[in-house]
Structure 1
Amino acid sequence: MNEYLIAHVGHTIKDHEHITWWRPDSRGYTICTHKAGVYTELEARSICTPSGGTCIAVPKDVAAALALSTPYYRRSNGTLQKLYDGDRHAPVPNSRVAWSELSVAKLDTGRMAKPTPIAPSKSRAIYLPPNLLHEGRAV
């Protein structure tokens, strides 16, 4: 059985660092792929088909392969701070490359609305390799 995550093209605007995903049971949104809802093909089609392309269903493994580590940003004093509160995150950058790969892999439910990726110059996210992380904190 194929499993899908649903990316919300319409809620991922050009100021957002990461792609917005539907949460489980269609209850809200998250930037984190491992907190996103996992849907069957039938469920994904019923959600995405009437959306006019503002939602797309992508295979879970494709989204997971595009996900990066918890994002940080550099503070004015040079230290790193998490971009988002909470534990570890696995976001997919709101980039042209990511949207292109998601578009190729998406479940065919009709047209896809035009994504609005963040300009590379506007992105603050810094991704650290796992060996530089200690319990979700930069070391």
Structure 2
Amino acid sequence: MSAFYVVSVKHTQREQPYITFWRPDNKGYAWPLSWAGQYSEAEVAADLEYYHNGYDSFAIPCALMDSLAVPPALGTIDNNAGPVVMNTKLNWKFLIEFAKPGVLAKPNPQYKGARRHKEST
């Protein structure tokens, strides 16, 4: 059975150096994969609108995400915990392409150089 990290599109901002992930048991957010939760395929499938909607979040296999991981820049995370995934256009493209099938909407992530989102009025 596959394990997934849940990527937080909503909580990753353009000025942040790293992509944000959900912590275990839906309890907060983290940059280091060592602090991120690993969710089962059954958990993700049971509530796609929560875990895999594309607007706020989506699931990506842990093995694929781990392949993008790098050590953090010293001093950017408590105790230099890592690894992390850089918040770049190339990494987002990879994440979106290899996300768990069935995402409900195409993610629109923020990263340095991305088009700014229009604020709703």
TM-score, normalised to structure 2, is 0.82
C-alpha contact (below 8 Å) 1:56/1:112 kept by paired residues: no
In structure 1, give the amino acid aligned to 2:108.
K
Give 1 or 2: higher strand fraction: 1
1:84 CA displacement: 1.9
Percent identity of the aligned residues? 25
Q: Which residue of 2 aligns with 1:27?
A: 27
- 5+ long unaligned stretches in structure 2: 114-121
User: SS at 1:71's partner residue?
Assistant: coil
User: SS at 2:58's partner residue?
Assistant: strand
Runs of 4+ in structure 1 over 4 Å off: none
Task: Spell out the pairing of 1:109-124 with structure 2 (5 A cutoff).
Answer: 109-119=103-113
C-alpha contact (below 8 Å) 1:48/1:55 kept by paired residues: no
* 1:102 corresponds to 2:95: yes
User: SS at 1:19's partner residue?
Assistant: coil
Q: Which residue of 1 aligns with 2:42?
A: 42
In structure 2, give the amino acid aligned to 1:57.
A
Q: Which residue of 1 aligns with 2:118?
A: none
C-alpha contact (below 8 Å) 1:70/1:88 kept by paired residues: yes
C-alpha contact (below 8 Å) 2:34/2:81 kept by paired residues: no
- How many Å separate the matches in 2 of 1:38 and 1:47? 15
Q: Which residue of 1 aligns with 2:73?
A: 71
1:104 CA displacement: 1.0
Q: Which residue of 2 aligns with 1:91?
A: 84
User: SS at 1:6's partner residue?
Assistant: strand
Q: CA distance change for structure 1 residues 112 and 47 in 2, over 3 Å: closer, same or farther?
A: farther
Counterpart selection for 2:59 from 43, 57, 63: 57
1:29 CA displacement: 0.5
User: SS at 2:60's partner residue?
Assistant: strand
- How many Å separate the matches in 2 of 1:46 and 1:16? 31
Q: CA distance change for structure 1 residues 58 and 17 in 2, over 3 Å: closer, same or farther?
A: same
In structure 1, give the amino acid aligned to 2:94.
E
Q: Which residue of 1 aligns with 2:7?
A: 7
Which is greater in Rg?
1
Q: CA distance change for structure 1 residues 37 and 47 in 2, over 3 Å: closer, same or farther?
A: farther
